[in-house]
A = this chain, B = another copy of it.
């Protein structure tokens, strides 16, 4: 496991990798959990070489969001990664990624302003831009990402396709705690009582999946079931049943439709999603 601190060093590393080896890339913001590690494992299983990046990207945080408090523990991250076959860990600095006079931003229209993008203006612009930059530096064949960030995966798949990049995203299943909570670095913000209330997201998904399995097809009614449940434990940011491809809201649903949600547990904003037929 080689630590790579600069873009220039990463370029040298990349240039010297054999062209007949497949490169798997796992971009992260650090504070790794089992979800991230499942992506590393997927890369190990599918690619010859695995590169992990750890970079808390400031441009995807809004001015009132948790950039400064976002959890960081590089030593712990490296220890966790050392249990896998990670060839390179890339952690560039803000000064390298956004030097003075940085001016260029990527916008994926239509997908970036809805759902999480409506609550977090500029978030997906920041995500699309950093991932494009990292992809241009790392030049991976496959990019492994978690489906918890379902909208993020769709935004980035669209960006890669539209900009004619050949790197492809492999969307991996959500990893959950035993009681159903989707793993997230932000779960570390939760105190024990909040941690208990945070179960409302996965519980609401289950309730809606059950109602769908029982034949309910009306999206408004299904969303109400989820909203009524979550409102008992937190403040709903959005809960929507959408087309799994274009993320547009649906009126009538089927088992391939997706429920997608963001709920505040006090000040902690959590997201979750699932296909209704899962």
Contact = CB atoms under 8 A, between A and B. Distances in A.
Interface stretch (A140-148, A156-164, A257-265): A156-164
Nearest to A92: B164
Given A136-B165, A163-B133, A165-B136, A103 B7 contact: no
Say how many copies of this protein the assembly contains.
2
Given A19-B19, A164-B7, A164-B133, A104 B107 contact: yes
A163 to B, nearest CB: 6
Given A104-B106, A106-B106, A136 B111 contact: no
A11 B107 CA distance: 25
A105 B103 contact: no
A118 interface: no
A173 interface: no
Given A163-B133, A164-B7, A164-B133, A111 B103 contact: yes
A190 B162 CA distance: 37
A166 B111 CA distance: 29
Contacts of A103: 108-111, 158, 162
Nearest to A125: B107
A104 B163 contact: yes
12 contacts: A11-B166, A19-B19, A103-B158, A104-B108, A104-B109, A104-B128, A104-B158, A104-B159, A105-B109, A106-B107, A107-B107, A136-B164
Interface of A: 7, 11, 19, 101-111, 128, 132-133, 136-137, 158-159, 162-166, 246
